[in-house]
């Protein structure tokens, strides 16, 4: 009996539902680095939904049997949402797009300012601005922006939620050696919208060594106030625009 089958006996009812698993695991063992998408797997009777549903278990069985890491399959492209607020910067006239990091990295762009926001609605609400690009940060995946030369070299204006996770994301971005300035992430903004605070149930933990002293002071202020948070979308748009436009270089 192959190792995966012995391992499967420990999986209980889940193992009994995995009738197609043998064919999948045999194929993966014979093709450990296929680079195929799930949809391309040439395994009769096994469809995309089955593999997606049982992928975590199949991965554990495959790794236990082979000693390898992962399934050797292709993952969905890592897409970044970008809006070009200056029509002269828009590639082929596409002012709003979501593209793989590799394709954005290959673009020869020279914006004057790049904004990075965590709130997608704020990204979509930005008006036309000469020389400007706005990027959706996508939370803790924000460090992928370091792989895009025209962002890494220019630096960004970052606006995240005024809470511990917003600063943790900022810390992560700055760890990639991207020049970063923040906007609307200070004590004055926090206190101006005090009536819109909510409690942050699970504050970020860990050392944030890439924050500036004034940013660490805001983080301490948040904790001293009882781990509060001010979400981006709670700041009125007139205040947002008044703060953003002067940041253009």
pLDDT band at 32 (very low <50, low <70, confident <90, very high): very high
Mean predicted confidence (pLDDT) in 206-210:
94
pLDDT score recorded for residue 249: 52
- Average pLDDT, rounded, for the chain: 91
Question: For residue 228, what is the enclosing H or E element?
Answer: strand 228-229
Q: Could you tell me the strand order of the sheet in which 132-136 lies?
A: 96-100, 79-84, 132-136, 113-117, 156-159, 180-182
pLDDT score recorded for residue 76: 85
Over residues 85-120, the pLDDT tens digits come to 999 999 999 999 999 999 999 999 999 999 999 999
Range of lowest pLDDT (8-12, 41-45, 53-57, 201-205): 8-12
Mean predicted confidence (pLDDT) in 8-22:
63
Residue 17 has pLDDT above 70, yes or no: no
Percent of the chain residues topping a pLDDT of 90:
84
Mean predicted confidence (pLDDT) in 70-89:
94
pTM for the model: 0.82
DSSP letter string over 6-49? HHHGGGTHHHHT-TTHHHHHHHHHH-TT----GGG---TT--HH
SS3 string, 95-123, reads CEEEEEHHHHHCCCCCCCEEEEECCHHHH
Tell me the CA distances in angstroms from 175 to 84, 91, 185, one per residue in order: 26, 29, 18
pLDDT score recorded for residue 159: 97
């Amino acid at each position: 009996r192959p190792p995966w089958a012995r391992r499967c006996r420990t999986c209980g009812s889940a193992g009994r539902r995995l009738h197609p698993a043998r064919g999948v695991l045999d194929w993966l063992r014979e093709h450990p680095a296929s680079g195929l998408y799930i949809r391309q797997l040439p395994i009769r009777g096994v469809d995309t939904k089955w593999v997606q549903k049982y992928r975590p278990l199949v991965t554990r069985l495959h790794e236990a049997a082979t000693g390898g890491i992962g399934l050797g399959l292709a993952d969905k492209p890592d897409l970044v949402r970008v809006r070009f607020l200056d029509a002269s910067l828009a590639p082929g006239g596409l002012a709003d797009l979501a593209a793989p990091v590799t394709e954005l990295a290959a673009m020869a762009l020279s914006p004057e300012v790049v904004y990075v926001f965590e709130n997608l609605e704020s990204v979509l609400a930005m008006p036309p601005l000469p020389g400007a690009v706005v990027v959706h940060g996508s939370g803790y995946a924000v460090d992928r922006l370091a792989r895009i030369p025209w962002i890494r070299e220019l630096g960004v204006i970052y606006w995240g939620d005024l809470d511990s996770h917003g600063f943790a994301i900022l810390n992560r971005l700055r760890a990639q050696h991207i020049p970063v300035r923040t906007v609307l992430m200070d004590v004055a903004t926090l206190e101006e919208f005090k009536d819109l605070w909510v409690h942050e149930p699970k504050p970020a933990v860990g050392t944030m060594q890439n924050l500036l002293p004034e940013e660490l002071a805001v983080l301490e202020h948040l904790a001293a106030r009882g781990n509060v948070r001010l979400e981006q979308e709670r700041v009125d748009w007139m205040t947002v625009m008044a703060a953003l436009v002067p940041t253009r270089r």
